[in-house]
Amino acid sequence: MTLLELAGVSVRFGGRAAVDGVDLEVAEHETVCVLGPSGSGKSTLLRVVAGLQPVSEGRVLLGGADQARVPAHRRGVGLMFQDHQLFPHRDVGGNVAFGLRMQGASRAAQQARVAELLELVGLPGAGRRPVSSLSGGEQQRVALARALAPSPRLLMLDEPLGQLDRGLRERLVVELRELFTRLGTTVLAVTHDQGEAFALADRVVVMREGRIAQAGTPLEVWQRPASEFVARFLGFDNVVPATVSDGSAVTPWGEVPVPEDSPRGDHRLLVRPAGVRLAADGLACEVESRTFRGAHVALRLRPAGGPALEAECDLAGAPAPGDRVAVAFAPSEVVVIPASQAP
Amino acid sequence: MAVPLAFFGLFFAYPVAAIVGRGLKTDAGWQLGRIGDVLAEPGIAGVLWFTAWQALASTALTLLVALPAAYVFARLDFPGKQVLRAVVTIPFVLPTVVVGTAFLALVGRGGLTQELWGVRLDTTVWAILLAHVFFNYAVVVRTVGGLWAQLDPRQEEAARVLGAGRLAAWRQVTLPALAPAVAAAAVMVFLFTFTSFGVVQILGGPSYATLEVEVYRQTAQLLDLSTAAVLTLVQFAAVAGILAVHAWTVRRRETALRLVDPARTAHPPRGTGQRLLLGGVLLTVALLIVLPLGVLVERSFDTPGGYGTGYYEALSRAGSGGGTFLVPPLEAVRNSLEYALAATGIALLVGGLAAAALTRRAGPFVRGFDALLMLPLGVSAVTVGFGFLITLDEPPLDLRTSWLLVPLAQALVGVPFVVRTMLPVLRAVDERLREAAAVLGASPLRAWREVDLPLVRRALLIAAGFAFAVSLGEFGATVFIARADRPTLPVAVARLLGRAGDLNYGQAMALSTVLMLVCAAALLVLERLRPDKTSGEF
């Protein structure tokens, strides 16, 4: 069942549209992640749903009910702020209990729920600690517990792990995913980190300049970016104009094999770095730089014609900068991006 | 915003307009030509010039002396800090007449400095400047120090790490954060000294007069209402000009500051520099504040028959001082406390609402309102008091016999303090904290109570302290409207001072000492009330 529905939602600041005609549905128990660079309007979208930002156009429906006249404090949604916004004058327990107090829960019920949630987020017995004594990761957990405590029907997370260090982030993202699955929480999160989005979400929505550029499962978005923007935002830089015909395409890099079902005509073409393979024969390139990436080596190649190419190869036998190599393209890693959707 | 607007319209704009109208309007219509005539008088130009430059000099001197003290009170821990904080606030709540007299006893004819070194400073401008610094020291210490104590020292540390020297870090990080508070304090001091009355009246002698003194002379002594009205208008215009400049310079609004628990930003003095600074501040306080107060107390016990409590005993007798009073002067203590409490309540209500409204909205209208709230500080209190008498005397607003009249007039002076103190802190509360509360189910009112109130409680208490203090010490307006059988302390002191004789002078000193003690007690209670920890909720 659809819990949240946005229909043609626009938010304009002066003449600029921060959110521009967005349609979005989030089903119950689903985790949707809005992914986009800063300034793409994703945080504004959360504020719209929370009722903190009035819309210029469009409707917001929660459980089928129009929220136009419902103020923020009656929407029954949870929002975890980017920088947590814990109340500095209350201790950890006071922060977590805040929403319960607003609901008028009894003191005993509050205490029980606070203890339960602190246990849940891995901070048992921290109720009396002042928030100023918390580390970044602990603050994040307390903010999560505070948002979860009143059992919101929709939990929204604004850059939930943005300020944490990498190791913690990777651990927490798994924990969050498990937690939301276990609790059956409906989650709408925004992030600029694709790794975070793909790890967390059932469905990913990529935003650009206030519009939805692509929506789909993480796999779909990863495998078939809908536009050059999405491809580049996901970190793929091997994008060139191409004229596609049967089984191959003409590009500045020469002829590139494409998958069977690719659309014909003038389009854009993406080659994922894994699809650029060192070969005995093929496009002649000079190695510009080499970056060690753990399991593989990322190469930046300067071909004889066309823009620079990113490639991946094994550690063993990786060429050094300045070396001359030849590359061939693997059709399985080539995606034709239809020109009609390429902004 | 409606309540503060109505309050100011009814109890400020209306009486002042009425009194100006009475001075400038005859049966033949408005006599605007009078304005030119009065301003053309050479004496008046001199008054204008003196008023402006002594106010400027006093403000500069006060900032110079009090800013180090603001730092010391904000950032250093030392024994007796709380008591000392109350001590420096006492001068501010003393009636100006008493401040004048205390300095007269210190540096005037037969005063302490003349006895010791043969130096006399009265009838020089130095006595006036010193008294003004004495008087306004607390304004700077409390306004600037209150914010300074809550600034996160790590901001300065961040600048130090980025390669800024100690002074550069202070200038680049702390000073900009403090600037709105410093500007607010400077404007307050300038306004007080610009409209200075009692101090100049007593210490200035015949050669120095401010606008306010001249207004009083024209109203009460020469009964020349039209000249007084013109001068009131001039003062009003000047004050409006100052406030406009102020609004223009601080258009850049207070940025959201990182406010932290003041208890954690203070530390015991470290190193020679900080100890020297602390020593210097303590010495300044001793010479500038404790000494005049000490002389005042000394005089109150200095009866003709040697030291004794004779003057105090006389205070409790009705009809003492040759029929000056219908009731024992000591009654004035109770009157004063009741009036001041009521005035504080009104000022907090009106000022709190105004500050909340100013926090939520922006735009030129709001800036104008901001400035409007400061006007009562700059308009002649004499005019306000006299205006109350002639306007609030008929139904439906016949308040002449109501005891509320006095607190209303006193609250008028208290409101600007409440707004000035609350505004920087309210504006510094992060809007997203309110939003976080809203998302968790708090209505706007509830969010204000749960988020703003606890965070600004400290500022609110300081504001209450200020409002209480100025109400207690208010003289210019109260002297006109307090009923003869219900005098306040300052009015009683002035009545005693106005009569000749050692007994009256001694009783005035004794009553001033009582007023000083009442203020000190009230302030100490406030200091106690101040929560030491911002996180003391649970």
B40 compared with B293, residue with greater pLDDT: B293
Set of chain A residues whose Cβ sits within 8 Å of the Cβ of B440? 73, 78, 98-99, 102, 146-147, 150
CATH superfamily of the domain spanning A2-226: P-loop containing nucleotide triphosphate hydrolases (3.40.50.300)
Measured between CA atoms, how close is A301 to chain B, in angstroms? 38
ipTM of the prediction: 0.78
Task: Inspect the interface and report whether the beta carbons of B535 and A91 lie closer than 8 Å.
Answer: yes
- Mean pLDDT for chain B? 75
- The 3-state secondary structure of B293-312 reads HHHHHHHHHEECCEECCHHH
pLDDT confidence of residue B368: 66
Best of B154, B431, B440 to disrupt the A interface (most A CBs within 10 Å) is B440
pLDDT for B246 beyond 60: yes
- What is the rounded distance in angstroms from the CA atom of residue B79 to the CA atom of residue B98? 30
Residue B437 at interface with chain A, using a CB cutoff of 8 Å:
yes
Measured between CA atoms, how close is A79 to chain B, in angstroms? 6
| For A133, nearest residue in chain B (alpha carbons) | B535
Helices (H) and strands (E) in chain B, counts: 29, 4
A203 compared with B465, residue with greater pLDDT: A203
Measured between CA atoms, how close is A209 to chain B, in angstroms? 23
> What does chain A come to in residues?
343
Average pLDDT on B111-125 reads: 70
- The CATH number of the structural domain formed by B2-301+309-529 is 1.10.3720.10
Domain ranges (residues) in chain A: 2-226, 230-341
pLDDT digits (tens, 9 = 90+) for B184-235: 788 878 888 887 777 777 777 667 778 877 877 777 777 777 777 778 888 8
Task: Inspect the interface and report whether the beta carbons of A87 and B437 lie closer than 8 Å.
Answer: yes
pLDDT digits (tens, 9 = 90+) for A73-119: 888 898 888 888 888 888 899 999 998 988 888 999 999 999 999 99
Task: Inspect the interface and report whether the beta carbons of B436 and A94 lie closer than 8 Å.
Answer: no
Confidence of residue B318 (pLDDT cuts 50, 70, 90): low
Measured between CA atoms, how close is A163 to chain B, in angstroms? 17
Task: Inspect the interface and report whether the beta carbons of A79 and B430 lie closer than 8 Å.
Answer: no
pLDDT confidence of residue A10: 93
Best of A49, A70, A79, A87 to disrupt the B interface (most B CBs within 10 Å) is A87
Set of chain A residues whose Cβ sits within 8 Å of the Cβ of B441? 73-74, 76, 99, 102-103, 150
Task: Inspect the interface and report whether the beta carbons of A102 and B442 lie closer than 8 Å.
Answer: yes
pLDDT confidence of residue A92: 93
Residue B13 at interface with chain A, using a CB cutoff of 8 Å:
no
A54 compared with B239, residue with greater pLDDT: A54
Strand A187-191 versus strand A154-158 pairing type: parallel
Cβ contacts from A onto B, under 8 A: 91
Task: Inspect the interface and report whether the beta carbons of B455 and A51 lie closer than 8 Å.
Answer: no
From A53-67, A313-327, B49-63, B488-502, the region with the lowest mean pLDDT: B488-502
Q: How deeply is A318 buried, as exposed, middle or buried, from its count of CB atoms within 10 A (0-12, 13-18, 19+)?
A: middle
DSSP output for B442-501: --HHHHIIIIIHHHHHHHHHHHHHHHHHHHHH--TTHHHHS-TTS--HHHHHHHHHTS-S
pLDDT for B395 beyond 70: no
The answer to whether A207 and A247 have CB atoms below 8 angstroms apart is no
Report, as ranges of residue numbers, the positions in chain A whose pLDDT lies below 70. Answer: 163, 340-343
pLDDT over 70 percentage in chain B: 75
CB-nearest to A89 from B430, B446, B454 is B454
pLDDT confidence of residue B357: 78
DSSP 8-state symbol, A67:
-
| For B438, nearest residue in chain A (alpha carbons) | A73
DSSP 8-state symbol, B151:
B
Measured between CA atoms, how close is B86 to chain A, in angstroms? 26
**B31 Rama sector, left if φ>0, alpha if ψ -120 to 50, beta otherwise:** beta
pLDDT over 90 percentage in chain B: 1
CB-nearest to B439 from A77, A90, A93 is A77
Contacts of B121 (CB under 8 A, 6+ apart): B107, B108, B113, B127, B130
| For A146, nearest residue in chain B (alpha carbons) | B440
CB-nearest to A87 from B438, B439, B451 is B451
Set of chain A residues whose Cβ sits within 8 Å of the Cβ of B537? 89-91, 94
CB-nearest to B439 from A50, A91, A131 is A50
Per DSSP, what are the bridge partners of residue A284? A326
Measured between CA atoms, how close is B441 to chain A, in angstroms? 4
Contacts of A251 (CB under 8 A, 6+ apart): A240, A241, A242, A269, A306
Measured between CA atoms, how close is A48 to chain B, in angstroms? 12
A45 compared with B241, residue with greater pLDDT: A45
B435 compared with B310, residue with greater pLDDT: B435
Task: Inspect the interface and report whether the beta carbons of B450 and A103 lie closer than 8 Å.
Answer: no
pTM: predicted TM-score of the whole model, two decimal places? 0.65
Confidence of residue B535 (pLDDT cuts 50, 70, 90): very low
pLDDT digits (tens, 9 = 90+) for B19-34: 777 766 666 666 666 6
Domain ranges (residues) in chain B: 2-301+309-529
B406 compared with A34, residue with greater pLDDT: A34
- What is the rounded distance in angstroms from the CA atom of residue A149 to the CA atom of residue A99? 7
- What is the rounded distance in angstroms from the CA atom of residue A152 to the CA atom of residue A80? 12
